[in-house]
């Protein structure tokens, strides 16, 4: 089997660590796997800044692809990371083999994550930010996201505060990302209330998407790493 290249982008509060199981599975099969942590998060949390926004994180991944000289990339994004991979694909559409949204927002021109989120989650973000200087979103609990009980303490320990501006910024897209027709959506059906259910329902009515449902919590790469890795391999073709 030919070696494929995967770039896996994490969601809010997380870091590249959340893909450790999936990365190992894919690497053992001979593939190249990049699991960067976005600016201000995880091992970069000491560089946290209120100035970090979605554009910063899009640039993080654009730079990774350009400086690692990657092509034919399977680009995946979890949760908030779906906003980021859409922005990256819009700028580097000729380098992307496939897009995989893992229980994620699907970025739209002129929309922020808050514009696509459910009101109670947005209200929580805003309240937390107001209680922490106006620019920080404190991690939601692993329990809320339906993470399996054995991993909840680990996930809660590893998550770090997230820059509020990344969730509030409305991104601008040229439409170039729409030329990438190889698109997959993974819906995590095992947690509620999910802001991604209405997104998934809309996608089901659109032609061309490969659709998968996993009976687990929001962090499918933690709860069901083998199944998540297999879907990524199928997207790679």
Query: Catalytic: which of 37, 79, 112, 137?
Result: 79
Distance CA 138, CA 163 (A): 9
Token pair 């920080």 is found at 136
3 is catalytic: no
Q: Coil, strand or helix: which one is 75?
A: strand
Task: Supply angle C-alpha 218, 221, 222, rounded to 5.
Answer: 80
Q: How many CA atoms lie within 13 A of 165 on its CB side?
A: 14
Distance CA 13, CA 38 (A): 10
Distance CA 94, CA 180 (A): 8
Q: How remote is the C-alpha of 218 from its chain's centroid?
A: 11
**DSSP single-letter state for residue 95:** G
Q: How many CA atoms lie within 13 A of 46 on its CB side?
A: 1
Q: How many CA atoms lie within 13 A of 233 on its CB side?
A: 18
Distance CA 92, CA 86 (A): 10
Distance CA 195, CA 120 (A): 10
Question: What positions carry a catalytic annotation?
Answer: 79
């Amino acid at each position: 089997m030919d070696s494929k290249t995967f770039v896996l982008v994490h969601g809010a509060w997380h870091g590249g660590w959340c893909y450790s199981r999936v990365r190992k599975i894919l690497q053992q099969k001979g593939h190249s796997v990049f699991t960067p942590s976005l600016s201000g998060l995880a091992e970069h949390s000491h560089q946290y800044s209120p100035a970090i926004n979605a554009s910063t994180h899009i640039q993080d991944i654009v730079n990774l692809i350009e400086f690692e000289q990657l092509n034919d990339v399977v680009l995946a994004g979890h949760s908030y990371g779906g906003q980021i991979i859409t922005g990256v694909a819009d700028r580097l559409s000729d380098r992307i083999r496939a897009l995989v949204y893992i229980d994620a927002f699907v970025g739209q021109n002129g929309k922020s994550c808050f514009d696509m989120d459910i009101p109670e989650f947005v209200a929580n973000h805003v309240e937390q930010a107001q209680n922490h200087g106006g620019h920080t979103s404190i991690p939601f609990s692993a329990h809320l996201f339906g993470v399996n009980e054995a991993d909840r303490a680990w996930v809660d320990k590893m998550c770090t505060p997230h820059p509020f501006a990344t969730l509030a910024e409305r991104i601008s897209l040229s439409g170039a990302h729409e030329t990438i027709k190889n698109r997959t959506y993974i819906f995590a059906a095992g947690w509620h209330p999910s802001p991604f259910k209405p997104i998934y329902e809309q996608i089901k009515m659109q032609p061309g998407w490969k659709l998968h449902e996993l009976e687990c919590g929001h962090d499918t790469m933690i709860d069901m790493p083998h199944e998540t890795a297999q879907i990524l391999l199928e997207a790679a073709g």
